[in-house]
Structures are given as structure tokens and as C-alpha cells.
Amino acid sequence: MIRDGIRRLFRLVAGPRSMTAREVDEEVREHLDRRIEQLVTSGLTPGEAEREARRKFGADGAGVRALHEAARVRDRDVRLRDRLDALVLDARYAVRGVVREPSFSAFIIVTLALGIGANAAMYGVVDRLLVRGPEHVQDADRLVRLYTNAVTPWAGERTWASAGYVSYASVRDEASSFSHVGAYAINEGTIGRRAEARPIQVGWATADFFPTVGVQPAAGRFFNAVEDAPAAPQRVAVIGYAMWQQDYGGGPIDGRTVVLNGEDFDIVGVAPRGFTGVGLTRVDVWGPMSYRSRGTSRNWERTWNAQWLRVIGRLKPGVTAEQASDDATRVRRASYTGTQAWERDARVLALPIGYTPAGTEPAEARVTRWLVGVAVVVLLIACANTANLLLARAVRRRREFAVRAALGSGRGRLVRLVLTEGMVLAVLAGATGVGVAGMIGFLVRGVLLPDIEWTASAVGWRVMAALAAVALVTGLLSALLPALHASGRSLSIALKTGVRDGGGRRALVRSLLTASQAAMSVVLLVGAGLFVRSLWSIRAKDLGIEPEKVIVAYVPLPNDGPPQGETFAERLARRRAVELAVLDTIRTLPGVERASLAVGLAYNSSFSVGLRVPPYDSIPTLPGGGPYIHAVASDYFETMGLPIIAGRGFTTSDRDGSEPVVIVSDLMARTLWPAGSALGQCMMIGDAQPAPCSRVVGVAANANRDGLREAPAMMYYIPFGQERDIGGTALLVRPSGPPAAMFAPLRQAIRAMNPEANYIRAAVLQESLDAQISPWRLGATMFTMCGVLALLVAAVGMYSVLSYVVAQRRHEFAVRAALGAQPADIARHIIGGGVGLATIGVAAGLALAWLGGVWVEPLLFETNARDPVVFAGVAGLLLGVSLLASVGPALRARAVAPATALRAE
């Protein structure tokens, strides 16, 4: 009944009698007329005949109304069918057009596919990096990481993510803003024993970490609070999904064990596929935090002096991150039992879990956001290019369209035809784009962001959906202008002028499209140039040491358990002896140029201990903190490539028990003894009272401690063996050949000395830096790829515009030539037009890049965002390419033969 109502409503809206109803009336009228004629012929009077005809036709009025309804239903069905037929016809026509000009179509499809694919791939990256967060984390935006923010006496205000167990426990027990609080630490570890051991990433987590994240195990269970009890932690483990599949065949885990860091752990569960905790990097095995914590210090549950874990919390509904910060700060201050004033005043900040350990948004995320912009620009360029080429073709097909229109094709039909063509091209491009997205996704994920655990495939359904959407929008965007162009024609003019006329507004539109392509290419290329220059700056940066030439290995020490029958100092001495023995052996290996040992290693670990230097009451502080201490064996400076500026380096006779000596960094020497020489000065190192006087015997060049960007800090070096209260020895090897060839003999030699050793960690020191360089590498690669692509597309766009200009103006050129114009003048005219367009585009692009520089600057590395070399280079490149693109059409214009051209029209 509602249907009837609606029907009535529609009929009302329809207004005047519809076409269908008029046709029915006409048909009925004709029928009645014929019937009347028939009846009159058979002898009835006209009046009787009409009555009889109406009777025969059926119940008066009602019959006709029923017919109207039946016809309406019929026409609705038929019209729908017609529309579908038209669509199929259009599509078939469009496909024929695509096939007829294969190179034209292929070019459009490839450029669009690159644009679409790049966007889809970036969508996949953004989705993981910026939107959804790590896999299996429920409501990532309600999860916060707790940072400490304090004004340190050595380095001013700092924010850091590391915390001690005590700060985790106090927030867990006393803060009211969180429904759950958990803590975790990701550490390197080994799995398996001896030679079969391999390196893995171990996630040490408190039992409440898993409910905080909201993750469910794939099999078994996560460990509980009893197993993670600080007093008696148990050796239980939850293995990662990948390990479960590879090492356990995905079978039952009851009663199975895993050898973690040389000890047997009972497997209680399996983490779901792709679970990486709240980070994005791979985690192979999860173990109880308390078990890990025992190794940190004796009072680990209560001390404020050791920080080895990260704290996360889930906000209660309605609680903001600010409220949670204040709450946690209050709790921290109330429970702080230490004596440091600055630490008592420290604040707790609740920040997104995706932030860096320093409480900032990761550079990868910021660069990725830019790359999304880049991908969109590439797509816009591809769209502009497609629109341009379709417009050009529309000009060529004016006569065809005019003929079609003359034969009765409606204007709407012509628009639809052009739009369908655009859509067909976009759909084909979208299909090709799947491959492109896969390749770009692979590149970005595998090569540029290798540390992130990508679980979803590069082209998942989300990406496919994004791809389809982008393809449709692209098709519409690029076909819109040509479609409007096709509809806005005057038939007779088109029929008369043929291909020739193309001037005026439409030529302007095409020129604008070309110029804007050039402008966008300039922006991308400037971006590429800036990132490439950043990479150069990084390469050229003097880090003091030479990280790419040094292998860092760790000498495995026996897992002794608590000291028995020896003092702590005796055990330390024994361990040092092992390390020195390994060092001696390594030095004899063929291919080893230099080798040394170090406690405190650039980009890895740094230490700061009590230090007094007469006559200072307190050491001046520098922005980078410190002074930082390193304990290094002989040959350290030669191994690291760090020059000794004055005095001497260490020799084998500088050791535990020999005269305390020290080497200071250049900056330290200049800071502490600005007037005189540092050599021979006295430094009292360590917290012991009284500390012995260490004599300065050398000055070394400055070296970076943390990586690429850091504030200046003082450093000093003491002989390996003379250090107290710091530990963790790295074996440093400088091979004479390529480092890659050195790993196997190195590991073999170390294993020969310690057959019980598990996996022996060894890596080029540079690898510690790579993670820091990755945002720039990502930016440089992607900007360059997109920039080159944009340049190519813009060049072809310009070539096509000029070619059509030449085609359209053949007649004019012929007339000019006939009137005596020199071929060279005509060629110059065309080239001038092309380069002129490019100049406008370049100017606009440079202006945009100049303005946009403000936002890119923070992402660059010691590079001016308005670097004149980059700007000039890109401008020159673009103009050069535009010149090249103009030459072909210019030559063709030059070769127009007046007689042929004029006769051809």
C-alpha cells in the first residue's frame, strides 16, 4: 500500500503526462479509430460504431488506466535495459579506442598505473605506520606510553621512555586513570644451544602487558602474575607465531620447551600471527619481565637508579592523556624515595605508543606523511597528463563527434562516451597499478623500512579497496575536462573547420595543464634534490670514528651464576683476562688490520661516572651531557680511525694496575684547559673517595656518541681494565678487506676459544647508525623516483601538447611559409612556446618549493631547504627537458610543405 502511495507521489512529481502515457493514448486512439471504421463499413452508424468499439475495448476508463500502468512498468524495464545496453556499447567503443591507439593508451595506462599504484602502496604504509598501529593492539589510540620528563642538571630538559620496575609498579598500583598498566622490554637474545644457536628478539613483558594491549593468544595462554612474580619468576615462554610454525610445525605445545639465552623455558602459549607488542619490529619469544629483571641489579624491584623497561597504560574511558599524565606524575612524586632533587621533580607524560624513546613522533612517520603528499602529486600529474592527452584526442576527433551529434547522438551521450573512455583507461590502469603497488610496497617495506614487521601483504584488501577508489576518482578527474570539451561544441563550426581550430580557451586549458605538470615536477624534484643532499651531508659528515670500517662482536662469557668462592673483583679480572686472550687471538687472524676492546661504544652504550678535575669545583656542563667515559684497550684509536691529536694512544702496558692514565677528547681539552695544554693534567675518575689522580697522556679527536645529530659533549678514555662500576665489553675489529668476509673467520675463532658459546653476535658498527639514516634514505629514494617519473610524464605531456599545436596550425604554418616565413622562424616559434610554458611552470614550481621549504626543513639533514644548487639544478633540468620535448614538434612544423598542407584541408 505504501508502494501505491509512493507511486502516486511520483506521478504527481512527474507533472505533465509522460511520454509513455501519451504513446498509450495514441495507440488506443488509433485502435478505436480503426475499429470504428471497420464497424461503419459493416453497416453501423458512426454513433453506434463508436459505442460498440468502446465496449469491445473493455471497461471504459479502467482499461486505459490499467494500460497506462502496464506500459509504465514496461518502459521502466526497457529503459533500464537500454541504459545497460548503451553502457556496454560505450564500454565496447572505449575499449576499441584503447586498442586502436596502443601506444597512446599504453602511455596513459602506465602513467596512471604508477600514480595509482604509488598511492595504494603508500596507503598500505600509512595504514600501518600512522593509522592502525601495531597488529593485535586494541584501540591503539587509548593506549599510551609513559615517559619521564625532567630537567637534568647535565643536559637540561629531557624526555625518555626507559623506566625502572618501581615506577611501573607505583603507577600500576596507585594511578586511577588507567584500566591496565603493563611493562615490557625488547632485548636481543639467543635461541638454541652452542653452534645451533641463532639470534632472536625477546620481548620481556609483565603478565599484565597482554591484557593492557588487548591481545589474545593463538594457542595456549600468556603467562600469569604468579609466573611473573618478582620474588620467584618462572621460566615460561610464549613463542611467536612464526617460530611456532617453523620450529614446532604449528603442533601442540604442551610440554614443549625452548632454549632461551641458554636456559630451558616451558612454552605455555603462542602469540598471534604478526604480534609485535606495541612496537613495529619483530618479536620472536615473550618471557616474564621479572625473570629478565633479576639480571639488572640487586634491588631491582625498588631501585630508582636502573631503567630497563618501558611502561604502557590503557586509559580508562573518558580519561584524557593529559589527565593521565598528571595522575601518573602525582603517583611518581609520592612514591619517589631517591635523593636527587631533579628526579623528585620529574613529570610523567602519557604520549602515543608510536612515539620514539625520546618522546617525539618518529622521523619515519613524518617522512611518510610527506611521501603521501608526493604520491598524491604524482597521481595529479598523471591525471593532468591523461586529461591533456584525452583533450588532444578530442580535438582530433572533433569531426567524428560532430558527425555523431549530427546523426542524433545526444550531448549527454557524447559526454558519457568520453567519461567511459576515461574510466576504461583508469580501470586498466588500476589493474596494472596492483603490480605497481606490490613493487613499490616491496621497496618501501623491504628495502627502506626493513626493521618493521610487515604482516599484511603489500597488496591486501584494504589496499585494493583504496586502489579501486583511487582509480575511479582518477578516471573521473582525467576525463572530466575532455568530456566537457566534447559537449561544448558547435556542430557546424566543427564540421567546417575539422582538426584545425583548437585555439582560444581550450588551448589555454591545455597549456595550463602542461605548465602545472611542470610545476609539480619541479616541486617533487626539488624535494628529491634536498633529500639526496641530506644523504650526501650524512655521508660526508665527520663522525670522528669510521663506523663502516669496524666490526663489533661480543665475546660470550660463561653463565656463571652467583659468584662462589671468588670476589666480584676477582671474577671481573677473570672475565677481562678471557676477553684480552680473545683479543690477542683475533689480532693474529689473517685479514685483521687492527682490533681492540671497548666498554662504552658509540651508538650503543655510554657511561658517565663521577669526575673531579682540579682546580674546578664542578665540571662545566655541555649541552650534550657527559663527560662520557670509555674504557678501551690498546689500538682502540687506530681501530676506530679516530686520530690522536696530541700525546699518545694506549698500549698493551696500559692496563689494570698500571699507572692511571687518561686520554681526553679535543673538546674536553679545550673546555677544561682553554689556556694551556691538557697533557700532564690530573683527573680524578670514579666515585671512590679519594679517587686516584689519572694523568692525561693524550688528546683524541672528537667523535659522535649517539649518532648523526647531537649536541657537543666531552669524552675521555681510560685503559681497559682500569674502569670501575661500568661493564659490557665490545670486541672491535678493523679488517683490511671488506667487513662482510670477516664475519665467518671471526665467529669461528671466538667459538674455538669457547665451544660452549651460543650465537656470537657480530655486526658492522655502521648498522647501529642505519636506523637513524633510514628516514632520509626513504625520503631520497621515494622523492627521486617520483620526481623522475613526474619529469618523464611532464616531458611527454609537453611533447604531446606541442605536437597537437603543430597539427592544428599546419594550415597557418603553410600560409606563413607561403608568405615567405623562414622554416627556422617557425621552428623557433614552436620551441619558444614549449620552453615558455616550461618557464612558467618552473617559476610556479620553484615558488611553491620555496614556500614549502619551511615545512621540509626539519626533515632535512644539515641542508638548507632553499638550497640554491638544488633549485638551480632542477630549473635547468626542467628547461633542458622542455627544450628536448619541443625539438621534435618544431622540426615537424618546420617541414610543413605549403602546397600539401593547404590542399589537405
Partner 1 sequence: MARQLPVVKGTLDTLVLKALAWAPMHGFEITTWLEQASGGELGFDDSALYQALYRMEARKLVRAEWGVTENNRKARYYAITARGRAYLNEQTASWVRYAGLVTTILTQEAP
Q: Give min distance, CB of 58 to partner 1, in A.
A: 3
Binding segment for partner 1 (CB under 8 A), chosen from 75-83, 132-140, 813-821, 888-896, is 75-83
User: Which one-letter amino acid corresponds to residue 289?
Assistant: M
Exactly one of 31, 92, 221, 294 binds partner 1 (CB under 8 A); which one? Answer: 31
β-pairing, 661-665 vs 693-700, is: parallel
Of the pair 26, 542, the CB lying nearest partner 1 is at 26
Angstrom distance (rounded) from CA 428 to CA 106: 10
Taking the CA atoms of the chain, what radius of gyration do you get in angstroms? 39
Half-sphere exposure of 853 (CA within 13 A, CB side): 17
Angstrom distance (rounded) from CA 149 to CA 324: 14
Q: Give min distance, CB of 6 to partner 1, in A.
A: 20
Q: Torsions phi, psi of 259, nearest 5?
A: -90, 105
Q: Give min distance, CB of 446 to partner 1, in A.
A: 55
Query: Which string of x and - marks every residue 53-72 that binds partner 1 (by CB under 8 A)?
Result: ---xxxx---xx-xx--xx-
Q: Give min distance, CB of 403 to partner 1, in A.
A: 24
Angstrom distance (rounded) from CA 530 to CA 780: 8
Angstrom distance (rounded) from CA 467 to CA 489: 34
Window 447 to 476, contacts with partner 1 (CB under 8 A): none
Of the pair 35, 575, the CB lying nearest partner 1 is at 35
23 lies in the site for partner 1, by CB under 8 A: yes
Of the pair 71, 865, the CB lying nearest partner 1 is at 71
Q: Give min distance, CB of 40 to partner 1, in A.
A: 14
Of the pair 29, 294, the CB lying nearest partner 1 is at 29
Of the pair 33, 322, the CB lying nearest partner 1 is at 33
Take residue 48 and report the three cell numbers written for it.
453506434
Contact 629, 608 (CB under 8 A): yes
Q: Give min distance, CB of 70 to partner 1, in A.
A: 4
Of the pair 51, 194, the CB lying nearest partner 1 is at 51
Task: Give bridge partners of residue 154 from the DSSP assignment.
Answer: none
Helix, strand, coil % over all residues of the chain, rounded to 5: 55, 15, 30
Question: What DSSP string runs through 747-809?
Answer: HHHHHHH-TT-----EEETHHHHHHHHHHHHHHHHHHHHHHHHHHHHHHHHHHHHHHHHHHHT
Of the pair 67, 887, the CB lying nearest partner 1 is at 67
Q: Give min distance, CB of 110 to partner 1, in A.
A: 42
Q: Give min distance, CB of 904 to partner 1, in A.
A: 42
74 lies in the site for partner 1, by CB under 8 A: yes
* Count of residues touching partner 1 (by CB under 8 A): 25
- 230 preceded by cis ω (within 30°)? no
Of the pair 71, 436, the CB lying nearest partner 1 is at 71
Q: Give min distance, CB of 27 to partner 1, in A.
A: 5
Contact 783, 528 (CB under 8 A): yes
Of the pair 28, 883, the CB lying nearest partner 1 is at 28
Of the pair 52, 548, the CB lying nearest partner 1 is at 52
Other CB atoms within 10 A of residue 708 CB = 16
List, in order, residues 6 or more apart from 152 with CB less than 8 Å away.
Answer: 158, 342, 625
Binding segment for partner 1 (CB under 8 A), chosen from 52-60, 590-598, 766-774, 779-787, is 52-60
Of the pair 71, 122, the CB lying nearest partner 1 is at 71
Contact 662, 749 (CB under 8 A): no
Contact 809, 499 (CB under 8 A): no
Q: Give min distance, CB of 33 to partner 1, in A.
A: 8
Tell me the three state secondary structure of residue 698.
strand
Q: Give min distance, CB of 75 to partner 1, in A.
A: 8
Q: Give min distance, CB of 10 to partner 1, in A.
A: 18
Angstrom distance (rounded) from CA 116 to CA 453: 25
Exactly one of 26, 48, 141, 570 binds partner 1 (CB under 8 A); which one? Answer: 26
Q: Give min distance, CB of 44 to partner 1, in A.
A: 14
Question: The dihedral of CA 488, 490, 491, 496: what is its sign?
Answer: negative
Binding segment for partner 1 (CB under 8 A), chosen from 23-31, 215-223, 321-329, 391-399, is 23-31
Q: Give min distance, CB of 42 to partner 1, in A.
A: 12
Task: Give bridge partners of residue 287 from the DSSP assignment.
Answer: 204
Binding segment for partner 1 (CB under 8 A), chosen from 25-33, 371-379, 380-388, 645-653, is 25-33
Q: Give min distance, CB of 404 to partner 1, in A.
A: 22
| Buried/exposed code over 627-644 (b: 16+ C-beta within 10 A; e: otherwise) | bbbbbbbbbbbbbbbbeb
Contact 285, 260 (CB under 8 A): yes
376 lies in the site for partner 1, by CB under 8 A: no
Q: Can you give the length of the chain in residues? A: 905
Of the pair 64, 439, the CB lying nearest partner 1 is at 64
User: Which one-letter amino acid corresponds to residue 576?
Assistant: R
Q: Torsions phi, psi of 467, nearest 5?
A: -60, -45
Exactly one of 11, 18, 28, 340 binds partner 1 (CB under 8 A); which one? Answer: 28
Of the pair 24, 885, the CB lying nearest partner 1 is at 24
Q: Give min distance, CB of 35 to partner 1, in A.
A: 7
Query: Which string of x and - marks every residue 629-668 that binds partner 1 (by CB under 8 A)?
Result: ----------------------------------------
Query: Which string of x and - marks every residue 78-97 that binds partner 1 (by CB under 8 A)?
Result: x--x----------------
List, in order, residues 6 or more apart from 175 with CB less than 8 Å away.
Answer: 181, 313, 324, 327, 328, 331
Of the pair 7, 221, the CB lying nearest partner 1 is at 7
Binding segment for partner 1 (CB under 8 A), chosen from 29-37, 415-423, 476-484, 840-848, is 29-37
Give the 3-state secondary structure of 439-476.
HHHHHHHHHHCCCECCCCCCCCHHHHHHHHHHHHHHHH
Exactly one of 48, 77, 82, 254 binds partner 1 (CB under 8 A); which one? Answer: 77
Of the pair 26, 659, the CB lying nearest partner 1 is at 26
Contact 176, 321 (CB under 8 A): no
List of residues contacting partner 1 (CB under 8 A): 23-24, 26-28, 30-31, 34-35, 38, 56-59, 63-64, 66-67, 70-71, 73-74, 77-78, 81
